[in-house]
Structure 1
Amino acid sequence: MAAFKRALKDSGVLPQSINAYYRSWRVFYDWCEEATIVCMIEFPPKIQGPSNYHSSKSIVAPSRHTGRADKSDPGLEPEVHILDYKDVVLSNDEYARLSAALTEIDPVYDLIAFMMVTTGLRIGGVVQVPLGSDTRNPGWLRYPELKATGVTFQKLTYVPKGKKHLLRCSVLTESLKRLHTEYIAGHRKERLKLFAQRFPGKTPPLWLTAVGKPVEFHDIWNAFRDASSVVGRRITPHHLRHTYATYVVYHYFKAHGLKPNLAYGHDIHEALRIQLGHMDIEVTKRYIRTVIRTEADAWLPVLTPHVNQVVQENTPAHVLASVVKFFESKPAH
């Protein structure tokens, strides 16, 4: 079990997610023990007393008094209540550097990252983007066909994390344009020849490496790890999902002429719920808080007392410029 947890940590999985896996494993193996099924795995004994671990909806809040002491599980990872995603959201400049680093490794990883940051899909969702119509997406159009229709997006039906049911999300025509121009009509043509040599008779997937091998999950993770060393900060594929959602929230407020406020959480939640496939409105509020914190981080140095700082009437314009630079500077492709 310790090896499993170490592997998850090394892959950048958050403590909350590790604990979710751990609890599921423990329930299963506890059942095995009760059913007298022999297994070679051990869990630490639970400790009688107040528990420091709670549901995901209230990670750090004290447990409600139930008249009995809960047993805490020392095998759980300490969880930190996440208020926002500011530390894992990329500015446009950072994304541009990531894009360049991934391109150096293999352009296919840059295009995968681009599809993630323009859809909010996880790795598992992006690898399901079809080349053309298929069983799950019989009406899927390639970019040239889609361009002729004049529509701005089409819906992708995919199997999400957990695989309990199908979800649908919007994939922009502009995103598919870049995918088609730079990859499908470009790099992929040579890669198809290599794939045919290596896997004769097999149907090639959309994503292929430079040597004609299908792109696997670990290939993407390794590419992000190597690119992170160039960018100068650790970036995982999931950071792009948080980046996508935060930018949607930022532009929502800007388009409506509104100041970021949690009071609008329900309005934004419906759009993000459908696109990202999450039900908890608290997740949407974290994205709103990320926008608010980005602005607060720009304000704080200006407002700090007892330093050589002069707050003038035009100060808000400088703060706004800092926020706009974070979200709106144009990355070069």
Structure 2
Amino acid sequence: MGVNILHSKELEYPIVFDIKTNMPDTLILRYAIYKHQYPGLIDSKLTRKSGKKTVVDAIQRICYLINRLSEQTQIDGTIGTHYLAATFECNMEPLIQAMHHEGAWRGESIEQYVKAWRQFYLFLTLQGVDHEMLMPDVKEVSIYEDQDNNFLSHTSYRRERIGEQETAIDANWKEYQDDYKDSILSIEQFWLLYAEMFKVDAVYAVMAYTELVTCLRVSALVDCFPLGPNKRNPKWLSYKEMKRDEITSQKLRYLAKGGKTKSLLVPVVMMEVFYDIYEKPLTGPDYYQRLKRYQEVYCETKHAINSNYSIDDMPTWLLENGTPVSVRSYQKVMQECAERLNIRAHPHMLRHTGVTQMLYRYIKNNGLLTGFNHTNLMLIADAHIMLQGHLGHVSVETTRRYIKTIERIIKESQLDMLLNSALSISLKHQEMLDTNPRLAKGMTILESALLKADIQLDYNEPV
């Protein structure tokens, strides 16, 4: 059971529809009404009514769970399970683990989602609805507030209250980090990872490069990057069209975490790599040969039928045998390639790496390295505007963390992590390139594209 959310200003509450039947889910609608108007009927500890934004956020988190459950492969090989039949051990716990270890979600973000799921299942229990979800009990803990954090009373130096600790996630995941230094790859590491993934299938390498440049989350990369114009991106241009019209970047609209639609800029140099290495390579199968195998071979399989793939679909990311690339297969291949290289890498690290590279180039090219410090408010404001222009909404605290990352790299004299010239180091691995002309060609194109990125990406130019 996959779901879609219908929400607009005209609607009192968001309405959740079953994708297959187009029927509204009345349990979720009732939960939304109760959370907004009658919180005590959800949890006896709740006394305050929730605002509409809080209700929408909770519904989006519940729908995220439902849609991920609909994609899980069960023991008998079937795809998907209904949220009323899902269990903590077999369904929710593996998802929570994947969010942290594979999706690289922050512990605080996972906790907010899990709390919404817990509350929804508690509501179902109180409503007498049968379900199989038995989550571990929360733990009561004493929370002490210091004076600096107590905005209601500036006379008391310590105040104690009883709170709840979410036990469904590892408490260590919530350790605070003030920069992303340990969550980024050096350019040389990325180059080697790209080459290793290319040897498995060129599609994986191009996906990694696309994630590095666009800074998309892995789910948006797999599900939302278009091959051509579609409903969400009706004016999407191919590389040839961008080159013909001398367009340096185009806006990509995509579905972000929580079901929100966001946008970012995709430079023409990224589209060049997509075209030359994946869509129309000089050697090896091009996209349309992959698509033919998808239509003639994959669509006849049981997996395709269970996954609701149609012969009329044109999935962007296809293996040479025509199988669509899933989030899980992309993550798995990246981790296996990283292990062979003896480095740590997962998809979300490419997002952090891409943002750090982008921000460093912007700061360097605009002469902002003088007085570079994460406490420089003018620098933060300038960098924040640039990141918002590329990634959509980004919090100021997130911008500050990226600036701290660059500051730490500079202080630790590891500037080669940020220089595009470090790409040439990997070209010394000539024995690998000599035996694989496709890889050599792909790497040459990739290096050329990355080195041109500073010229092609103009963040002040309207799209």
Corresponding residue for residue 137 of structure 2: 44
Q: Which of 355, 358, 373 pairs up with 1:261? A: 373
Higher relative contact order (Cα pairs below 8 Å, separated by 6+ residues): 1
Corresponding residue for residue 291 of structure 2: 192
Q: Is 1:120 matched up with 2:215?
A: yes
Q: Which of 296, 309, 328 pairs up with 1:218? A: 328
* CA gap 1:270/1:325 in 2 versus in 1, 3 angstroms: closer
The letter for the 1-side match of 2:192 is: R
Q: Which of 219, 226, 237 pairs up with 1:141? A: 237
Task: Tell me the distance in 2 between the aligned counterparts of 1:246 and 1:285.
Answer: 11
Q: Is the 8 A contact 1:92 1:328 kept in 2?
A: yes
- Name the SS of the counterpart of 1:22 in structure 2: helix
Q: Is 1:80 matched up with 2:179?
A: no
- Name the SS of the counterpart of 1:124 in structure 2: helix
Q: Is the 8 A contact 1:93 1:326 kept in 2?
A: no
For residues 6-49 of structure 1, the C-alpha deviation after alignment (integer angstroms, 9 at most, x for no partner) is 44444354423332222122221232333343443133243152
The letter for the 2-side match of 1:271 is: M
Q: Which of 182, 187, 195 pairs up with 1:100? A: 195
For residues 39-83 of structure 1, the C-alpha deviation after alignment (integer angstroms, 9 at most, x for no partner) is 43133243152279xxxxxxxx97778865122315153211120
- Name the SS of the counterpart of 2:315 in structure 1: coil
Q: Is 1:31 matched up with 2:31?
A: no
Deviates more, 1:209-218 or 1:39-48: 39-48
Offset of 1:167 from its aligned partner?
1.6
* CA gap 1:39/1:133 in 2 versus in 1, 3 angstroms: closer
Q: Which of 213, 218, 225 pairs up with 1:129? A: 225
Mark the runs of 5 or more structure 1 residues left unpaired by the alignment.
53-60, 299-321
Task: Tell me the distance in 1 between the aligned counterparts of 2:166 and 2:314.
Answer: 46
Deviates more, 1:240-249 or 1:75-84: 75-84
Give the fraction of aligned pairs with identical amino acids, expressed as a percent.
28
* CA gap 1:45/1:240 in 2 versus in 1, 3 angstroms: closer
Corresponding residue for residue 167 of structure 1: 262
Q: Which of 172, 177, 182 pairs up with 2:277? A: 182
Task: Tell me the distance in 1 between the aligned counterparts of 2:323 and 2:276.
Answer: 21
- Name the SS of the counterpart of 2:328 in structure 1: helix
Task: Tell me the distance in 2 between the aligned counterparts of 1:170 and 1:10.
Answer: 28
Q: Which of 238, 254, 264 pairs up with 1:158? A: 254
For residues 183-208 of structure 1, the C-alpha deviation after alignment (integer angstroms, 9 at most, x for no partner) is 11133233122112122743321210
Offset of 1:121 from its aligned partner?
1.1
Mark the runs of 5 or more structure 2 residues left unpaired by the alignment.
1-87, 154-158, 301-310, 428-442, 444-463
* CA gap 1:9/1:140 in 2 versus in 1, 3 angstroms: closer
**CA RMSD for the aligned pairs?**
2.4
Aligned positions, number: 301
Deviates more, 1:267-276 or 1:84-93: 267-276
Corresponding residue for residue 274 of structure 1: 389
- Name the SS of the counterpart of 1:204 in structure 2: coil
TM-score by length of 2: 0.60
Task: Tell me the distance in 1 between the aligned counterparts of 2:99 and 2:257.
Answer: 16
* CA gap 1:294/1:117 in 2 versus in 1, 3 angstroms: same
Q: Is the 8 A contact 1:18 1:77 kept in 2?
A: no
